[in-house]
Structures are given as structure tokens and as C-alpha cells.
């Protein structure tokens, strides 16, 4: 499933976000849950959650039925969680 997700992000999602000055990075795929990092204009946009659910998640679920959901990760939050695990 990882390769399918990469392909959809590269071919459909990233180009659409780039047209608005945004970008997306695939972080992981685990048990049907896709984790991504939004950057560029998407990182600070108040509509980023809408974009994540109604565009990114909807596109991935449409193309790959095994996708259960999409979560945006935040670098600072991820570093904090990693620090707690140590």
C-alpha cells in the first residue's frame, strides 16, 4: 500500500497543493493510516484541516480503498513525542 500512496501523492495531491504554494511529505503508512506533513503555504493555512480531510484524505481513499484515514503530523509535536519515548 505504501507504494500506491506515494504514487497518488506524487501524481495527484502534490501538484494540486503546489499550485497554491503548498507541499506535502509522506511520513508513514501504518495499518491503513497515512501520516503526512504539510508545508509551504499549507503549514500555516487556517484551511489546512479542511484540505487534509476533503482533498488529501478523500483522494487517497478514492484511489486506495484500504486507506482508513490521513493524519497531519507536526515536527515539533513529533520531536516532543520522541523525546518522551527516550
Contact 36, 56 (CB under 8 A): yes
CATH of the domain at 32: 3.30.300.130
pLDDT score recorded for residue 61: 96
Residue 39's CB is within 10 A of a number of other CB atoms, namely: 14
> Is a pLDDT exceeding 60 seen at residue 82?
no
Report the number of distinct structural domains present in the chain: 1
User: Which segments within 1-86 are labelled E, that is strand?
Assistant: 22-30, 33-40, 69-72
Tens-digit pLDDT profile for residues 36-77: 999 888 877 888 888 999 999 999 999 999 999 999 887 555
Domain span holding position 19: 2-85
The pTM is what?
0.81
pLDDT score recorded for residue 45: 80
Amino acid at each position: 500500500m505504501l507504494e500506491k500512496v506515494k504514487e497518488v501523492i506524487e501524481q495527484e495531491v502534490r501538484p494540486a497543493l503546489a499550485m497554491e504554494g503548498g507541499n506535502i511529505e509522506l511520513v508513514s503508512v501504518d495499518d491503513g493510516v497515512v501520516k503526512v506533513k504539510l508545508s509551504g503555504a499549507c503549514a500555516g493555512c487556517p484551511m489546512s484541516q479542511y484540505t487534509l480531510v476533503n482533498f488529501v484524505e478523500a483522494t487517497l481513499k478514492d484511489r486506495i480503498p484500504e486507506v482508513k484515514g490521513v493524519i497531519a503530523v507536526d515536527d515539533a509535536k513529533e520531536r516532543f513525542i520522541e523525546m518522551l519515548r527516550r
